[in-house]
Structure 1
């Protein structure tokens, strides 16, 4: 019972600090360290054993942070940083912008407003596979797709909501949550994507597109009739976004696609003769783009200078994502060491519907955490590492329990008014964040329900 109390107090404390706009990684680290210290004081067993234990309880609390930093920075963290560097380099040479412009161009030839909107959302979700940053993709879409949606006849409220939802399901092999999911299930990242994540996601995407079409149309008609929006909200206006990317030829749009193509071709699904890691694929793609960019610019100095963006992207992702992951895992360690999580799992597994009850509880916890923090990474990395052992206890399929949590974390982030992507899109469209999520929440709620039931049949 003591462990459950510690878990509840820790979760409430972390949620309170984040809601009060405290720095999220700092809040998670702070609460996690205090939780570990309390457990070290009251528990008869050491909180850390093995070769890396310091044999002093107070130091063991800090050693846990050291161990997580060492393991994450060298493993999953390095993968995420290389992804960040690759994305930054694609921005630097204009390849990401070329991909987005080329993808959204066909929309300008269509005339049905809400069909344009739904097709735009489809394109955005596909682009998210190759541009895994939700906020980064949204900024590109604000200068390319947003004006097309307005010109097509939807309101800026509906257009902004569409772009906020562009990264809601985080499909593909290159997102931080996806990499953790494949690591926890010991699956190749493409195997996890195609045979687990996609199996769950495609029914939910159908629900997303259909509900998005009708819900935004209903909102536009009702709000226009009530005076909440006016005809001016349907006029194409310039956003405050600045496209800082250089003009790049259309063939540069191929560069961001190369890593996913390589990972797919050299995977257990296609050809097993060559083992391809995420980092290797990204580095090969970067070097290929570097050579082509150098030949095109005919400047070795410019070619090598562009690599600075790769290094800066790695550093930026360490501060924004990898450090957040470590802090979230310190928080999760505190919850785990308290014994409260084990007590909850044992209680749930003793029920007749043990696997379903555990799955439902984790979905609710991750959904609430993502909504409150505005971060899919923080919530998923806090609770996902507990799933493999918990799934084994209740006889569930760990992969099909982890994947919906990853999908739900992205869906609820796109419903949160404090999420970075929401704040960015709201600022550029001149709308209040709550006005934008008022449009995204109903769609995301229905999509989340679809994910929940789609995964349940496989658990």
Structure 2
């Protein structure tokens, strides 16, 4: 009972702080430290064991932060920082913009409004594999796909709902959550993507695309009839046209579109699916692609000083994600450590495991519900997944499941739930560009995302089990 009370206290405290818009990383860290302090004061549980222990339970609380920081920065943190740096560099030289333009080009030939809507989601989700930033992708789609949707008669709120959810499945080896899941599974991010994510993600994406087409059409007709929408909501606003004209990303040659694809290509070639003679780590692949992209840009522009100046974006991107995503990972892991050491999580897992025949399904539903609530409250799939992913191996082991059956749907659900949050960065960015309320947009995303969640869970149980 003590452990359950501590877990409940921790979750309520974090939820309160984040809902009140306190800085999320420090909120998670602060509550994690409080939980560790409670464990140290009221139980005999060792907070740190082995050579890294300080021999003082009070100092061990701080040692937890040191241990987690050192291991994360050297491994997972470096991978995420290099991915972010490379993405920012591609933005700086215009390669990302070229890639999105080419992918969106075929959409110009589709004139059925809600067919275009559904296919636009699939195109956006495909692009997300190569551009893992939800906000960055959302902004680019607002400048390329949004005008197309408005031109064929889709309402602005429907178009925004599709764009907000374009990255909902968080697919691909460049995704931070994918990298974390792969680490849990003891495999590479590419292997996890091809052997787990791709099948379940494809089925979920199809279900979401069809749902968007049907549900947004229903909402548009209903809201237009009730007066919630007017004819002006189906017209492209001049402000967005002006924003498109002021797009900060430079134009680049069309062949630059190949540059965002290079990391996936190299990771696939040098894997068990193609050639195993060379072992290529994710961070190494990103550094390699950065060097190749610089050489391509240099040979194309032939302006050495300008091309070297552009590489500053790479290191700025690494620093930016260190202060956001990587710091969030570390603080969330401290919070998770406090939850685990309290014993409350073990009690919940034991309770679910005790249910004969249905224990595994109950466990999966509990984990998915926990991640969904956390994602909606924080507006971040990363914050939610980083905080609770370490519980997945224990949950799967308790019900004798392969870890991938538990991990894959939970990881996908965390991203899906983010698209239901009015405080998610991508929701706020897309809504502000279109001049809409984030709450109006998530009113359209919630029913579609619920269908996506159910599809991800059911398809994982059937196909991965």
Larger deviation, residues 326-335 vs 203-212? 203-212
Residue in structure 1 matched with residue 22 of structure 2 by the alignment: 22
Aligned to 1:40: 40
Q: Aligned with 1:178: secondary structure?
A: helix
Q: Are positions 1:357 and 2:362 aligned together?
A: yes
TM-score where L is the length of structure 2: 0.97
Are the counterparts in 2 of residues 108 and 152 from structure 1 also a CA contact under 8 Å? Answer: no
Would you say the 8 A contact 2:360–2:401 is kept in 1?
Answer: yes
2:294 to 290, 294, 312: 290
Look up the SS of the partner of 1:288 in the other structure.
helix
Which stretch of the first structure deviates more once superposed, 111-120 or 368-377?
111-120
Matches within 5 A, 1:205-244: 205-238=205-238, 239=240, 240=243, 242-244=246-248
Once residues 281 and 130 of structure 1 are traced to their aligned partners in structure 2, the CA distance between those partners, rounded to angstroms, is 14
User: TM-score, normalization: structure 1?
Assistant: 0.98
CA-to-aligned-CA distance 1:13-55 (integer Å, 9 cap, x gap): 1111111111111111111110111111111132111111111
Is 1:264 paired with 2:268? yes
Instruction: Choose which of 315, 323, 328 in structure 1 pairs with 2:327.
Output: 323
Give me the whole-angstrom Cα distance separating, in 2, the residues matched to 1:102 and 1:150: 19
Distance 2:236 2:110 in 1: 15
CA contact (8 A) 2:92 2:249 kept: yes
CA contact (8 A) 1:29 1:331 kept: yes
Instruction: Confirm or deny: 8 A CA contact 1:140 1:243 kept in the other structure.
Output: no
The structure 1 residue matched to 2:404, chosen from 399, 406, 411, is 399
* Structure 1 runs, 4 residues or longer, greater than 3 Å off: none
Secondary structure, aligned partner of 2:229: coil
Q: Could you list the runs of 5+ residues in structure 1 that have no partner in the other structure?
A: none
Deviation string 1:373-415 (CA, Å, 9 cap, x unpaired) is 1110011111111111321221011012111111001100011
Deviation at 1:110, TM superposition (A): 2.2
Equivalent of residue 432 in structure 1, options 428, 434, 437: 437
- Please give the residue correspondences for 1:113-192 in structure 2 after superposition, counting only pairs within 5 Å: 113-192=113-192
Which digits, 9 at most, give the CA deviation of each residue in 1:146-183, with x for residues without a partner? Answer: 11111121010011111100100011110000000000
Q: How does 1:354-393 map to 2 (within 5 A)?
A: 354-393=359-398
Instruction: Give the structure 1 partner of residue 336 of structure 2.
Output: 332
Structure 2 distance, partners of 1:341, 1:153, is 50
Q: Assess if the C-alpha contact under 8 Å between 2:18 and 2:378 holds in 1.
A: yes
- For residues 291-340 of structure 1, the C-alpha deviation after alignment (integer angstroms, 9 at most, x for no partner) is 11111111111111111000000000111100001111111000001011
Q: Matches of 2:199 and 2:301 in 1, distance apart?
A: 43
Looking at structure 2, the residues matched to 109 and 200 of structure 1 have their Cα atoms a distance apart, in angstroms, of: 29
Q: How many correspondences in the alignment? A: 459
Query: 2:53, 2:60 within 8 Å by CA — same for their partners in 1?
Result: yes
The C-alpha deviation readout for 1:47-74, integer Å capped at 9, x for no partner, is: 1111111111111111101111111111
Q: Which residue of 2 aligns with 1:456?
A: 461
Distance 1:39 1:164 in 2: 41
> Secondary structure in 2 aligned to 1:369?
helix
Match of 2:9 in 1: 9
- Return the match for 1:274 from 275, 278, 287: 278
Is residue 179–residue 189 contact of structure 2 (8 Å, CA) maintained in 1? yes
Whether contact under 8 Å (1:6, 1:335) holds in the other structure is yes
Moved more, 239-248 or 350-359: 239-248
| Matched ranges for 1:188-203 at <5 A | 188-203=188-203
Map of 1:56 onto structure 2 = 56
The CA deviation at 1:199 is: 2.4
Unaligned runs of 5+ residues in structure 2 are none
- Secondary structure in structure 2 of the residue aligned to 1:143: helix
Task: Give yes or no for contact 1:29–1:328 (8 Å, CA) kept in 2.
Answer: yes
Partner Cα distance (1:62, 1:30) in 2: 11
The structural deviation recorded for 1:237 is 2.4
Q: Using the alignment, how far apart are the partners of 2:44 and 2:108 within structure 1?
A: 67
8 Å CA contact 2:45–2:341 kept in 1: the answer is: no
Deviates more, 1:282-291 or 1:201-210: 201-210
**In 2, Cα distance between equivalents of 1:237 and 1:258:** 36
- In 2, Cα distance between the equivalents of 1:243 and 1:95? 14
- Separation in 1, partners of 2:307, 2:227: 53
The partner residue of 2:428 within 408, 423, 430 is 423
Give 1:285 shift: 1.1
Contact 1:367–1:409, Cα closer than 8 Å, also in 2: yes
